[in-house]
Amino acid sequence: MGHTASRKKQIFFVAFYLALAIFILLNFGSQSYGQTDKAPPPPASGNKHWNANEHWAWHRILKGEKADFNQKFNEAPDPENRCEWSDQRRIRPAFLEEILTDRTYSEKITSAGVMIIGAWIREPLDLSSVNLSFPLWIDKSRVEGAISFEGAVLKRLLSLDGNCFLNTVNLNQIKSSDSLVLKRSVYEQDLTIRGTTAWHCRLSKARVKGSCTIEDSLFSGNFISEDSFFSSLELRAVVDGELHLYNAVIDGDFDLIGSTIKNGIFFDDIKVSGKALWSSLNAPNGMAVIGGSQTRMNSINLSGASTQRDISFFGNVAVDGDVKINGARVDGGITMGGAGIDFKQRLEISFTTVKETLNLSGSTFRQVRIIGSNISGLIYGSDANFDSLNITDTNVGTSLYLADAVFSKGPLTILRSEIGRHLYLAGIDMKSNDVSMHSTKTNGHVIMSNIKCLGAIDMRFMDIGGYVKLSGSHLKQLDLSNTTIDNALFLWDKDNGFITWEPSSEKNKFPILNLRNTTARLLQDHPKAWPRSIDLLNFGYRFFGSSEAIGSKNTISNRPERWFVEWLEKSGDYENAEPYHKQAYLHLYKILKGMGYNKIAKEIFIAHNDRKKDSPCTKPGQKIWLWCLDFFTSYGQEMWRLSVAVFILILSGAAVLKISGEGRRHRMPYGISLSIDRTIPLISLDKAYDDIKLQGITRYWFYFLQVAGYFFATLLVASVINIFSNA
DSSP codes of every residue in 712-725: HHHHHHHHHHHHHH
Give me the pLDDT at residue 664, please. 74
Give me the pLDDT at residue 315, please. 84
- Final residue belonging to a domain, choices 190, 209, 241: 241
Residue 169 in any domain: the answer is yes
My answer on whether 67 and 169 are in the same domain is yes
Q: Three-state SS string across 463-500, please? A: EECCCEECCCCEEEEEECCCCEEEEEEECEECCCEECE
Residues 303, 327 contacting (CB under 8 angstroms): yes
Residue 714 — φ and ψ, nearest 5°?
Answer: -65, -40
My answer on whether 80 and 192 are in the same domain is yes
Other beta carbons within 10 Å of 620? 7
Is residue 5 helix, strand or coil? helix
Give me the pLDDT at residue 44, please. 67
Residue 247 in any domain: the answer is no
Residue 328 in any domain: the answer is no
Residues 261, 239 contacting (CB under 8 angstroms): yes
d(CA 573, CA 363) in angstroms, rounded, equals 44
My answer on whether 209 and 168 are in the same domain is yes
Q: Which residues touch 507 (CB under 8 Å, ≥6 apart)? A: none
Give me the pLDDT at residue 680, please. 81
pLDDT-flagged residues of the chain (< 70): 1-45, 505-509, 546-554, 573-580, 669, 690-691, 725-727
DSSP codes of every residue in 532-590: S-EE-TT-EEEEES-GGGTTSTTSGGGS-HHHHHHHHHTB-BTTTTB---HHHHHHHHH
Residue count of the chain: 727
- Final residue belonging to a domain, choices 583, 617, 651: 617
Amino acid at 50: W
d(CA 383, CA 427) in angstroms, rounded, equals 9
Give me the pLDDT at residue 553, please. 58
Other beta carbons within 10 Å of 688? 10
The H or E element containing residue 96 is: helix 93-101
Nearest to 301 by CA among 270, 268, 256: 256
Amino acid at 413: T
My answer on whether 591 and 647 are in the same domain is no
My answer on whether 575 and 722 are in the same domain is no
d(CA 268, CA 340) in angstroms, rounded, equals 14
d(CA 105, CA 259) in angstroms, rounded, equals 40
My answer on whether 53 and 116 are in the same domain is yes
d(CA 201, CA 185) in angstroms, rounded, equals 14
Count of domains observed in the chain: 3
Give me the pLDDT at residue 37, please. 45
Provide the angle, in degrees to the nearest 10, between the axes of the packed helices 582-594 and 561-569: 150
My answer on whether 108 and 221 are in the same domain is yes
Torsion of Cα atoms, 17 then 21 then 23 then 28, to 10°: 150
Give me the pLDDT at residue 485, please. 97
d(CA 670, CA 665) in angstroms, rounded, equals 12
d(CA 48, CA 51) in angstroms, rounded, equals 8
My answer on whether 177 and 218 are in the same domain is yes
The H or E element containing residue 611 is: helix 598-614
Give me the pLDDT at residue 31, please. 44
Q: Which residues touch 146 (CB under 8 Å, ≥6 apart)? A: 124, 125, 167, 168, 169, 170
pTM of the model: 0.80
My answer on whether 576 and 713 are in the same domain is no
Amino acid at 505: S
Q: Which residues of 707-719 are buried (b: 16+ CB within 10 A; e: fewer)?
A: ebbeebbebbebb
Give me the pLDDT at residue 36, please. 43
Residues 410, 432 contacting (CB under 8 angstroms): no
Give me the pLDDT at residue 609, please. 77
- Final residue belonging to a domain, choices 216, 241, 266: 241
Residue 206 in any domain: the answer is yes
Helices (H) and strands (E) in the chain, counts: 13, 62
Residue 544 in any domain: the answer is no
d(CA 223, CA 228) in angstroms, rounded, equals 13
Torsion of Cα atoms, 318 then 321 then 327 then 332, to 10°: 0
Q: Is 333 exposed, middle or buried (0-12, 13-18, 19+ CB in 10 A)?
A: buried
Give me the pLDDT at residue 19, please. 63
Nearest to 337 by CA among 291, 370, 298, 284: 291
Residue 704 in any domain: the answer is yes
Residue 202: C-alpha distances to residues 171, 187, 372 (Å)? 13, 14, 40
d(CA 602, CA 412) in angstroms, rounded, equals 44
- Strand 497-498 and strand 492-493: the pairing is antiparallel
My answer on whether 580 and 718 are in the same domain is no
Q: What is the pLDDT of residues 634-674, one digit of tens each?
A: 777 777 888 888 888 888 888 887 778 777 777 776 778 77
Residues 612, 695 contacting (CB under 8 angstroms): no
d(CA 271, CA 406) in angstroms, rounded, equals 28
Is residue 297 helix, strand or coil? strand
My answer on whether 165 and 56 are in the same domain is yes
Residue 75 in any domain: the answer is yes
Question: DSSP code of 161?
Answer: -
CA angle 718, 724, 727 (to 5 degrees): 130
Nearest to 636 by CA among 706, 723, 572: 723
My answer on whether 84 and 147 are in the same domain is yes
Q: Is the dihedral of CA 629, 633, 635, 636 positive or negative?
A: negative
Alpha carbon 49 to its chain's center: 69
Q: Is the dihedral of CA 120, 122, 127, 128 positive or negative?
A: positive
Q: Which residues touch 108 (CB under 8 Å, ≥6 apart)? A: 43, 62
Q: Is the dihedral of CA 671, 673, 676, 682 positive or negative?
A: negative
Residue 306 in any domain: the answer is no
Give me the pLDDT at residue 351, please. 96
Torsion of Cα atoms, 587 then 591 then 592 then 598, to 10°: 90
Start-end of H helices in 307-435: none
What's the domain range around 705?
Answer: 640-726
